[in-house]
Amino acid sequence: MEQFNKSLPRVNTNIRILHANPTTSNIDVYINGSLLASNVGFGKISKYFTITPGEYNFQLYLTGTYDKPILSQDIQLIANANYTISLVTLSNNLFLFRLKDDNVPVTKSQAYLRFINLSQNSPLLTLSLPNNFILFNEAEYLETTSYYQLSPGIYNFEVLFASSDVTAKYIKNITLVGGKFYTIYILGVFNGKPVIGYLFTEDLI
């Protein structure tokens, strides 16, 4: 029986929580009534948690409270998948945005990078290299880009407002390793506070 169990395919799923809503204080995240992640602040991301696949009820509370959730949402999670679940605003309401993270490289000689715009009121955003080579063009809010293959190395990027030639943000000294997946999330408020910034993450391998 032990040998048989070892031969079974992996059926778990992995999730992490990203707090991307600048108007919401730190949060505690529960799934089906059990605490998953605590005291997650804006611009912070939790570690990955391994759970069984299925439909879960996510409940978010302001940290230290457990009387009334600020959000309750059901999310379906499939087997053998990895997700980043971000707290955002959609149609003026809090919303958990589910994003599937890739983790199986086509080749380990290349790194994989994607770009996600989580700044609700920003213009369309473009990510380019300093030589004006565009990697992702005019990404709108919550747009999910594919992973772009890049040679391993240390990179500098520019985030541009699509409506002008003005650089919105410089992202410097980013190390990309072959065979790994990464995401650059843009967070914050256009012409407001907290100012637009970025979060660079390695996606699960």
Amino acid letter, 99:
L
* Domain map (residue ranges) of the chain: 1-101, 104-205
CA distance 89 to 93: 5
CA 132 centroid distance within chain: 25
Domains 1-101 and 104-205 equal at CATH topology level: yes
Cβ–Cβ under 8 Å, residues 199 and 184:
yes
Q: Does pTM surpass 0.75?
A: yes
- One digit per residue, the tens of pLDDT, for the chain of length 205 reads 344 444 455 689 999 999 999 999 999 999 999 999 999 999 999 999 999 999 999 999 999 999 999 999 999 999 999 999 999 999 999 999 999 998 888 889 999 999 999 999 999 999 999 888 999 999 999 998 999 999 999 999 999 987 666 667 899 999 999 999 999 999 999 888 999 999 999 998 6
End-to-end CA distance of the chain: give it in Å, rounded: 29
Q: What dotted CATH number matches 1-101?
A: 2.60.40
| CATH number 2.60.40 given to 104-205 | yes
